[in-house]
A and B are shown apart, each in its own frame.
Chain A
C-alpha cells in the first residue's frame, strides 16, 4: 500500500483505490459467469452484453478502462486543488512582503503587487513555476500525468497519449512527492 502524506490526496486515493478493487472483483465475476453482468448493469441494458462471452468481456474491459480514466482525472483534480491552495497562500505572503518592503520607485505604483505573478490558473503554469526546483525525473513524471489527464479530459483529440500509463498507486505517489517538494 502506498504511503501518501498529503491528507487530501490520500483521501481521494483511498476512495479511488477502493473503487478499483470493487471493479476488479466484479470483472472477475463476469469472467467466471457472463450472466453476472445482468446483476450489476442498469436495468435498461440487462441482457444486452451478457448473451455472448466475448461481448460480456468487452464490456468488462471498457468498465475497467472507464474507471481508470475517471481515476486519472479525479486524482489530478485533487492534486490541482492542493497545489493551487498552496500557490495562493504563497502568493498572498509574497504580496505582503512586497507591500511592506517596497521602496522607491516601486511604491509609486499601485500595481506593485502585480510584479508578483498572480495569474496562474492552469497546471501547466504551476509546472513552469516549479521547473528547476524539483528533480528532472519527477518533473517528467508530473508532465506525463498532466498530459494523460489532458488527453482523457479533452476527449482524446488534441493531446498525444503517454506511451506508458502509470498505475493509480504510482500516480498518487508521484503527485504526493511533488507536493512534498513544493512544501520543501
Chain B
C-alpha cells in the first residue's frame, strides 16, 4: 500500500502555491545568513553595508510574487548583488545570481537543491561543469569576492 501511495503522489501536480512560499522563504533565509552570520563582521568593521530591495517576479509554474534583492555595498562604489532569477529551473530547484554590479560577467549561479521535504542546500556554480558546483558556504563566497576584487 505504501508503494501505491508513493506512485499516486508522484503523479500529482506539485502544489505550486506552497512551493512558491517555500522558495520565497529560502531566499530570505540565504540573504539573512549572509547578512547576519557570514558577513556580519565585515558590516561591523564598516567594510560592507547591506540593502534589501523589494522586487516583483512573474515566473513559469509559480506565477507572480514579491521577493527581494540583496545589495552589498563595498568601498569605492563597488556593489555585489544577490538576485533571485527563478524558483524553478532545469536540474535544480531555484536559482539566484550573484554578481558584481557593472561587471555582470563576474557572475555565478546560486542554486537551491531540495534534499527532502523540509531540507535543502545551496550550491554555488561557476559553470556548466559539475566540478564547478560546490556547496555554498562563507569561505566559498569570500574566495569569490576576493577573486573579483583582484
Chain A contact residues, CB within 8 Å of chain B: 24, 27, 30-31, 53-54, 56-58, 60-61, 64-65, 141, 144, 147, 156-166, 170
Contacts and interface: CB of A to CB of B under 8 A. Distances in A.
A122 to B, nearest CB: 19
Contacts of A144: 90, 128
B102 A60 contact: yes
B101 A57 contact: yes
B109 interface: yes
B88 interface: yes
Contact of B95 (A30, A61, A159, A161): A161
Q: Which 7 A-B pairs have the closest CB atoms?
A: A57-B102, A61-B104, A163-B89, A160-B88, A163-B91, A57-B101, A163-B92
A159 B111 CA distance: 17
B89 A162 contact: yes
B77 interface: yes
A163 B88 CA distance: 9
Given A53-B77, A163-B92, A61 B99 contact: yes
A55 B86 CA distance: 23
Of the candidates A56, A60, A147, A162, the one having the most CB atoms from chain B within 10 angstroms of its own CB is A162
B100 to A, nearest CB: 9
Contact of A60 (B61, B85, B104): B104
A160 B59 CA distance: 8
B55 interface: no
B125 A164 contact: yes
B60 interface: yes
Contact of A147 (B59, B90, B99, B109): B90
B79 A57 contact: yes
A111 B89 CA distance: 43
A78 to B, nearest CB: 21
A170 B128 contact: yes
A33 B114 CA distance: 43
B103 interface: yes
A147 to B, nearest CB: 6
Interface string B48-84: 0000000000111100000000000000010100000
